[in-house]
Chains A and B, each alone.
Chain A
Amino acid sequence: MQAMSKPTVHSTPARIIHWAMALLIWSLIFAGLSMVQSLQTWQVELLAIHKSFGVVALLLVIWRLIIRLTHEQPELPKDLAPSQKRIAHLSHVLLYVAMFAMPISGYLMQNAAGRPIEFFGLFTLPAIIPVNLSAYGFFRETHSWIAWGLVALVVLHIAAALHHGLIRKDSVLQSMLGKTKD
């Protein structure tokens, strides 16, 4: 039977990229929130690091989507209510949308401002839209709203994961920790 062949844990590449991006996304969010208000001397370097790692995040989420589409996912527990399954599915779709929209809106807002995006000082990425104040206004605000949406989604995601791991004690949290729930 097909269901029997479903994996019980996420694949190793999926787990590595999940935890790496968790660390990266939190770092980028904290860097972003502090650098937009700080007038301190480190602000300039933090902005440069934020942009470079933002490009890394875009590359990683592309790779992650490929992993997601090419590796079989563990199934959700059978006793989970259909409505909860739908919410779980929707929240993952939204997480992917936000993970793409964050670096893309950041990239485009820099283009619209006519500011270069350097990758760790190694090379400069091309601008794909022209300089435009109104477009900057749109992408700058979008970048901020998606950041808050992503924070909300990640907090919900963590709460749900802990609920699965500590309250329901099912296979969901275990599958990302790489442990088989027996």
Chain B
Amino acid sequence: MLARYGVIGVVIVGLVALVWAVASGVGQSEVTAERFVDMQGGQNPHAGFRRAHAKGFCIEGNFNANGALSSYTTADAFQSGSHPFTGRISISGNNPTAPDMAAGVRSLALSFGEGNQTWRTAMNTPPVMPVGTPEDFFAMIQALSPDPETGERNPERIQAFFASHPETQALRNWQASYSPSQSFATETYNSINAFYLIDENGNQQAIRWAVAPSSETSSSPAIAINAENPDALQEEFAARIQQNAVVFDFMVTLASEQDDENNPTIPWPEDRETINAGQIVITGVSPQAGALCNEINFDPLVLPEGMAATADPILRARSAAYAESYRRRARETFLGQGEDASHE
């Protein structure tokens, strides 16, 4: 009889131990989505806000596709015509009231379509990733974070990280040459990671893209900004759009045989074929609080039929990390714990 109880005990304890092991990630990389988002959110995360790129505003407009990519993909958004989107312009960092001009990265995120044509993209000002895996990315954010004791960044630790990660060179070259513009409208936003276009016969073509200011937007008169104003860029964009739509060209670069679409740290050579797929025309802005762009997660792996994800480990990791950030702010919003960032 005792042996029979023993069998039951072993089965039950074994099952509970197995569930516990899977739930706590035994045997997996120690860099999990939870740890990643913990670190991005910082010591005092802002409840109800995105843990990364917390500060931003909603936009709306149309992608006027010219159909130049229709032989490469069946995705609706690239067929000739006008495709409405909702989107978000944001700055890097976890602080929803951070000064616009101080952020190192600016972003443009777009959401198109519905059903199997839903497409989300989150583009940033850097053209490449500093590192090629989520583990290295985690180590880099740790190296770049202020020392908890001094409150300052540790230059030696940062140097040591870059020295041991030569793949960061392309990004550092870009950083050295980049000067932030005086407007969100005159930045270039990059897909960074590569994706596949899939045609009606199932053929794949790896691409990256950049959304670059159109000639009409870059030649329109500049609006003076007060760099001391924490919302300088948001206010500039709102003032600009009162006068004219903000227009970007959607420039798609085709990979060649020599390019590794799964490595986001290496820029593709300048001479790769680049196709102008149409224009992103932004016609409206609204504060993010209560607007549609705040309700959704711009997960770059929400792709329409006719596009697919590459095996790029950073691209794959973005999905789970964005989902964890989204889960946290959604829970906080549901529980009514969200902070008020009144001047957003």
Whether, in the assembled complex, B105 has its beta carbon less than 8 Å from a beta carbon of chain A, the answer is no
Size band of the interface chain B makes with A? 35 or more
Whether, in the assembled complex, A163 has its beta carbon less than 8 Å from a beta carbon of chain B, the answer is yes
Whether, in the assembled complex, B239 has its beta carbon less than 8 Å from a beta carbon of chain A, the answer is no
A selection of 27 A-B contacts at a CB cut-off of 8 Å is: A30-B19, A36-B320, A37-B32, A37-B34, A40-B316, A41-B313, A43-B316, A43-B319, A44-B319, A113-B297, A114-B111, A114-B118, A115-B302, A116-B114, A116-B116, A131-B295, A134-B330, A136-B295, A136-B326, A136-B334, A137-B329, A137-B333, A155-B12, A159-B11, A166-B4, A167-B1, A167-B5
| Alpha-carbon distance between A163 and B301 when the two chains are bound, in angstroms | 47
A140 touching B327, Cβ below 8 Å: yes
Whether, in the assembled complex, A34 has its beta carbon less than 8 Å from a beta carbon of chain B, the answer is yes
| Alpha-carbon distance between A167 and B9 when the two chains are bound, in angstroms | 12
Can you name 8 extra interface pairs (CB under 8 A) apart from A43-B320, A131-B295? A39-B36, A114-B118, A123-B116, A134-B333, A162-B8, A167-B1, A167-B4, A167-B5
B316 touching A41, Cβ below 8 Å: yes
Given B8, B31, B296, which contacts A113 in the complex, CB threshold below 8 Å? B296
The minimal Cβ–Cβ distance linking B159 to chain A, given in whole angstroms, is 26
Residue of A nearest to B317 (CB): A39
Whether, in the assembled complex, A84 has its beta carbon less than 8 Å from a beta carbon of chain B, the answer is no
A137 touching B7, Cβ below 8 Å: no
Chain A interfacial positions (CB closer than 8 Å to B): 29-30, 33-41, 43-44, 47, 113-116, 118, 123-124, 126-127, 131-138, 140-141, 151, 155, 158-159, 162-163, 166-167
| Alpha-carbon distance between A127 and B113 when the two chains are bound, in angstroms | 13
Chain B interfacial positions (CB closer than 8 Å to A): 1, 4-5, 7-8, 11-12, 15-16, 19, 22-23, 25, 28-29, 31-34, 36, 111, 114-116, 118, 134, 292, 294-297, 299, 301-302, 309, 311, 313, 316-317, 319-321, 323-324, 326-327, 329-335
Given A37, A133, A135, A141, which contacts B25 in the complex, CB threshold below 8 Å? A37
- Chain B residues positioned under 8 Å from A36 (CB to CB): 33, 320, 323-324
- Chain A residues positioned under 8 Å from B32 (CB to CB): 37-39
B111 touching A35, Cβ below 8 Å: no
- Chain B residues positioned under 8 Å from A47 (CB to CB): 319
Knowing A34-B25, A38-B25, A39-B36, say if A114 contacts B296 (CB, 8 Å).
yes
B294 touching A133, Cβ below 8 Å: yes
Most buried by B among A113, A159, A163: A113
The minimal Cβ–Cβ distance linking A66 to chain B, given in whole angstroms, is 29
A133 touching B1, Cβ below 8 Å: no
